[in-house]
Each structure stands twice: as structure tokens, then as C-alpha cells.
Amino acid sequence: MESRKRDMELLSNSMAAYAHIRANPESFGLYFVLGVCFGLVLTLCLLVLRLSCQPPARPPPRHRDLSEEEDEEDEDEEEDE
């Protein structure tokens, strides 16, 4: 019996909310836009926090100059011939 009462409460609350939205579409639009803006601002704040709390990246290890390696390979090929 308790579950039937809860179901009826949910149905009547849903119908009341629908009737209120139907009567005041401007307020519904305003609340919807406010919710979207709040979500975007919250997402932006969380991204800024995540980026600012990351440890600094290590610089990549230095590699030898590629032109020097190519010159050495050319010299090796000439010696082999």
C-alpha cells in the first residue's frame, strides 16, 4: 500500500510541475539557461584547478644533432666501398 501511495505522489507532483511549466514558460527557460551556465562555469573551474595542480613537465632529453649522425653514416658507407 505504501508503494502505491508513493507512486501517486510522484504522479501528482509530476503533473503539478508540468502545469507550472506550462503556465510559466519564461521562468522555465530562465532556470534552464541558468543551469546550463552554472554547469559550464563549474566545468571551467574544475579544468583550471586540474591544470594548475599538475606537476611541471620535465624537459625532454636532449638528442644528438641528426645532421651529425647522417654525416657519420655517409663516412662509414664511403669507407666500406
Domains in the chain: how many in total? 1
Q: Which ranges in the chain belong to alpha helices (H)? A: 2-23, 25-52, 66-80
**Residue 10 within a domain:** no
Mean pLDDT for the chain? 83
Q: Does 59 or 38 have the greater pLDDT score?
A: 38
43 located within any domain: yes
> For residue 67, what is its C-alpha cell?
645532421
Per-residue pLDDT band at 41 (split at 50, 70, 90): very high
Query: Does a structural domain hold residue 33?
Result: yes
The pTM assigned to this predicted structure is 0.50
CA 60 to chain centre: 27
Q: Is residue 35 a part of any domain in this protein?
A: yes
Residue 37 belongs to some domain of the structure: yes
Q: Is residue 1 part of a domain?
A: no
Residue pair 28/21 in contact by the 8 Å Cβ criterion: yes
Does residue 35 register a pLDDT over 70? yes
User: What mean pLDDT comes out for the span 29-56?
Assistant: 94
In a domain, 71, yes or no: no
Given a cut of 70, whether residue 77 has pLDDT beyond it is no
Task: Please tell me the number of Cα atoms within 13 Å of 23 on its side-chain side.
Answer: 6
Find the mean pLDDT for residues 66-70.
Answer: 57
Please say if the pLDDT value at position 45 is more than 90.
yes
Sign of the Cα torsion 59, 60, 61, 64 reads negative
Q: Which domain holds residue 29?
A: 25-54
